[in-house]
Amino acid sequence: MSEPPQAAGEKLTASQIESLFRQYHDLVLQAAYRVTGRAEDAEEVLQTVFLRLLRRQAPPPELGAGARGYFKRAAVNAAVDLLRSRKARPAAALDDPFPTLAATEPDAQRRLVGRQWHQRLRRALAGLSPQAAQIFALRYFEELGNGEIARLLGISAGAVGISLHRSRTQLRRVLDLPAGDTP
């Protein structure tokens, strides 16, 4: 952040928020897209993350040296919140609006099947607890290690491992996968 946060208890200024936006908007968009799978949703998450920051009474302490981790975590949380809010909608609302336009070539068919798989996974992810969904997304969408996730969330690496194991088990069951397959 180019300007240091103000004294504890004071809101960030518009120029500080603008500076953070310029510095971290790509990171937030990419993290949100990996979780939601849709550019429109990633844009919505980007707005949510920075609106939440703007509305805070005081800057989060993580904005210092750990700002990158803060924005990744904020993007994943907002993306999971968005998926969860859409869980009650019919599945067609989350699907590609033109799935039948795929070419009949093998590569196009693989891409269509891959897209459908990711959509099912995202819907299933919305069924996990908020922390479990966050840990899963940070591990498998953001490709962070268990130790890094533990540091970001202030929990032990063992707790991260247990959460991932339970999440994979639950997702296998929801997605009807054999025990050896990993979502």
Average pLDDT over residues 78-99: 60
Residue corresponding to tokens 């922390």:
131
Q: Which CATH architecture has domain 1-90?
A: Orthogonal Bundle (1.10)
Contact 1, 19 (CB under 8 A): yes
| Per-chain mean pLDDT for the chain | 78
pLDDT of residue 76: 92
Task: Please state whether the predicted TM-score (pTM) of the whole model is above 0.85.
Answer: no
Highest mean pLDDT among 4-8, 64-68, 154-158: 154-158
Task: Tell me the C-alpha distance between 99 and 129, whole Å.
Answer: 30
Region(s) of the chain under CATH 1.10.10.10: 102-183
pLDDT of residue 97: 34
Contact 160, 149 (CB under 8 A): yes
* 165 to 29, 133, 136, 161: CA distances (angstroms): 27, 12, 10, 6
pLDDT of residue 107: 65
Region(s) of the chain under CATH 1.10.1740: 1-90
Average pLDDT over residues 108-116: 64
Secondary structure of 35-75 as H, E, C letters: HHCCHHHHHHHHHHHHHHHHHCCCCCHHHCCCHHHHHHHHH
Fold of 102-183: Arc Repressor Mutant, subunit A (1.10.10)
Backbone φ and ψ of 19, nearest 5°? -65, -45
- Condensed to tens digits (0 to 9), the pLDDT of residues 123-137 reads 888 888 889 988 998
Residue 175 has pLDDT above 90, yes or no: no
pLDDT band at 64 (very low <50, low <70, confident <90, very high): confident
Lowest mean pLDDT among 16-20, 94-98, 108-112: 94-98
